[in-house]
Amino acid sequence: MQLTRTLAASLLFAGSALCAEAPSTHKALIAPKVFIVSMFEPEAQAWWNIPEFNLLAHNITIPGLSPIFPDVHCTEDYEVCQLITGESEINAAATVTTVAFSPLFDFTQTYWFVAGIAGVNPKKVTTGSATFARYAVQVALQYEIDIRELNSSYTTGYIPQGADYPGQYPTNIYGTEVFEVNSELRTIAADFARKANLSDSTTAQAYRPRYKTPSGKYKAATLPPSIVECDVATSDVYYSGNILGSAFENTTKVLTNGTGDYCASAQEDNATLEVLLRAAVHKLTDFSRIIVMRTASDFDRPYPGASATYNLLYSEQGGFEPALKNLYVAGIKVVEGIIDGWNATFAEGVKPTNYIGDIFGTLGGTPDFGPGRKQALIDGGAYKKRSIPNRLQRRG
């Protein structure tokens, strides 16, 4: 495999039409220590134009990347690289697949650093904060009924696939519903980030007190930005409001057997993790070397008395700019921590003490969520009967 990839890389480097430049110091493969995954240009730009950290020293064009973001960017020494996936799960899957399976790179020791902004749960986090996830949960991979047509006994229009009511565990499983990453590495990364002086804004400071309640339900929302270890929910649906926020909180709990703690939203993370898992099956990536950080740009639900529409479309929450700034402010501490500790710790890797992988146990081990590997694989085949129109028949 190594010889094949080296040969392929040499062939690709030979053609300027395929690669903007060939790194003279890496005759075979580019082996970054950290690879930053950004989702759209403002997230990527947060890392650019930093004199002491030039991610634009090398710009490598790779066929198959987004037509809007066709380059992988790397520092002068190629120790840190970055891509921009494009927003949504489909763009993330296509982009990360292109790079993860590219013969230009050796990712066997690379730490993948997913770093984007997010809407956040005001019960857990305030704007400007940086969150670090253990679980990524694909919350919108469910049945959906428009809330205007719901039976009055339903609390949400989202129902797990193969289930009859919200709150049940799905019996039709795709395998991308939940990913669990290295919790030991997550804590190390969060501790690195805690060394940062997080950015804030006067608009955010003025907005947060609106979440004060006698019960203290949203106390976290009223506090200054901080580093929080909690989990991310992936959905192409950009949702807002108490009903959906609560529904996806519950989905996270259900799909992680009560362990997951939803605090941040994403449109890409499960797609990215599925690709890295598939690459890990072929020993191209190390799934224990993944960090998922989301900085808080806005709240996923309104303060008491405000509407979901106001929260989504009209509120001036002031979190967008500090969230973008804190991608770098907090993120650079993580990158520097890995680079500085490479020989002592990170080259060898951080051994996970928790299960890592997907609901199927694809990489080995026993998932600590879901119905168990055997049943999950059975449930994963439930849709082989797609031609039968009745959902109950499809359940077999």
Q: What is the pTM of this model?
A: 0.89
Is residue 367 very low, low, confident or very high in pLDDT (cuts 50, 70, 90)? very high
Model pLDDT for residues 320-330, shown as the tens digit of each residue: 999 999 999 99
Determine which of 6-20, 238-252, 365-379 has the lowest per-residue pLDDT on average: 6-20
Is residue 390 very low, low, confident or very high in pLDDT (cuts 50, 70, 90)? very low
Q: What is the pLDDT of residue 30?
A: 96
Q: What span, in angstroms and rounded, lies between the C-alpha atoms of 252 and 172?
A: 16
Model pLDDT for residues 292-310, shown as the tens digit of each residue: 999 999 999 999 999 999 9
Mean pLDDT of 15-36: 64
Q: What is the pLDDT of residue 21?
A: 52
241 touches 147 (CB < 8 A): no
Q: What is the pLDDT of residue 370?
A: 85
Residue 339: CB partners within 8 Å, gap ≥ 6?
33, 34, 79, 80
Q: What span, in angstroms and rounded, lies between the C-alpha atoms of 160 and 138?
A: 11
Question: What is the average pLDDT score of the chain?
Answer: 90
- Residue 387 above 90 pLDDT? no
Name the token pair of 279: 């690459």
Q: How many CB atoms lie within 10 A of CB 10?
A: 15
- Residue 6 above 50 pLDDT? no
276 touches 100 (CB < 8 A): yes
Mean pLDDT of 189-200: 98
CA separation, residue 319 to residues 125, 171, 227, 334 (Å) = 12, 38, 15, 22
Apex CA 7: angle with CA 15 and CA 348, to 5°? 115
Model pLDDT for residues 73-118, shown as the tens digit of each residue: 999 999 999 999 999 999 999 999 999 999 999 999 999 999 999 9
Residue 148: CB partners within 8 Å, gap ≥ 6?
none
Mean pLDDT of 226-239: 96
Check residue 1 and report its DSSP letter: -
Select from 43, 157, 58 the least CA-distant residue to 104: 58
Name the token pair of 160: 């797990």
Torsion of CA 124, 126, 132, 135, to 10 degrees: 40
**DSSP codes joined into one string, 99-130:** HHT-TTB-BTTPEEEEEEEEEE-TTT--TT-E
Q: Where are the alpha helices (DSSP H) in 237-370?
A: 242-255, 269-281, 308-309, 320-340
Is residue 52 very low, low, confident or very high in pLDDT (cuts 50, 70, 90)? confident
CA separation, residue 192 to residues 12, 119, 196, 338, 342 (Å) = 37, 23, 8, 9, 14
Model pLDDT for residues 246-269, shown as the tens digit of each residue: 999 999 999 999 999 999 999 999
Q: What is the pLDDT of residue 51?
A: 82
- Residue 128 above 50 pLDDT? yes
3-state helix, strand, coil in the chain (%, to 5): 35, 20, 45
Q: What is the pLDDT of residue 382?
A: 56
